[in-house]
Structures are given as C-alpha cells and as structure tokens.
Amino acid sequence: MLYNDRKMLKWQGFFLSEHNEALALSNEKVPVEEQQSLDVISKRLEASWLNKTPVNIQQNIMINGSYQSAMSGIVMGYHSTVVYLLDEETNGYCSVPLAEIRHVTLTTEKKWYE
C-alpha cells in the first residue's frame, strides 16, 4: 500500500500567530484617494522638492482589487517623466513614473523622538 501524501494539507497547522497577523494586515484595503490633475500633482511634488518636505504618493496601480499602499519620502529630483524619492525609513532611493501617480499629499516631517 502506498502512502497517501496530503501535500500542503499536512502543514496547515504550523502557522504561528505572527503569520496570521501578517496575513490579516496584508488583506486590509487601502483607502482610495481622489485622482488629482497633473497640475496639482506637479505643484505638490515641486513644493516637496523645494522645501525638502515629505510627501505621500498613491500610485494608480491595483493589486488584487485594491490600490497599493502609499509611498512616502522626499522628492530628490526628476528626469523626464520619472520622480525620484528618498525613502525615509530605508534611506534608499526609489523612482516613480509620473503617469502612475494618482494622488500626492504633503506631510509633516517626523521627528526622531516620535
């Protein structure tokens, strides 16, 4: 008689509570911001660049039926149709195509002690 392998079924009981919490957080819906005009987006990105203030950018990209969570950072520059952000948490750079930006919000700078 051959062993009846249940494949992934036998591993279902091994999820830790941390795994369950992370899965629950990943399934949360991101609030949808209104689509801004290119003029408003450009003015807010320029204000971030000139004043070195952080912005939140919601991209116009849907994943599994909801929008991607907002990116936050300081605008460090641009080239043609790409905006470059300095990520506050990782101190790394990321690029965002201007055509994929849905909404830009100017935010206040977080203090190191907050």
**Domain boundaries along the sequence of the chain:** 38-106
Element (H, E) at 48: helix 38-51
* pLDDT at 23 > cutoff 80: no
**Are the C-beta atoms of residues 33 and 75 closer than 8 Å to each other?**
no
Contact (CB, 8 A) for 84 and 94: yes
* For residue 107, pLDDT beyond 80: yes
Model confidence over 38-97: pLDDT tens digits?
Answer: 999 999 999 999 999 999 999 988 877 778 878 889 999 988 889 999 987 788 898 899
- Judge: domain 38-106, CATH 2.30.30.100: yes
CA 110/CA 114 separation, integer angstroms: 7
Please say if the pLDDT value at position 21 is more than 70.
yes
**Model-level pTM?**
0.68
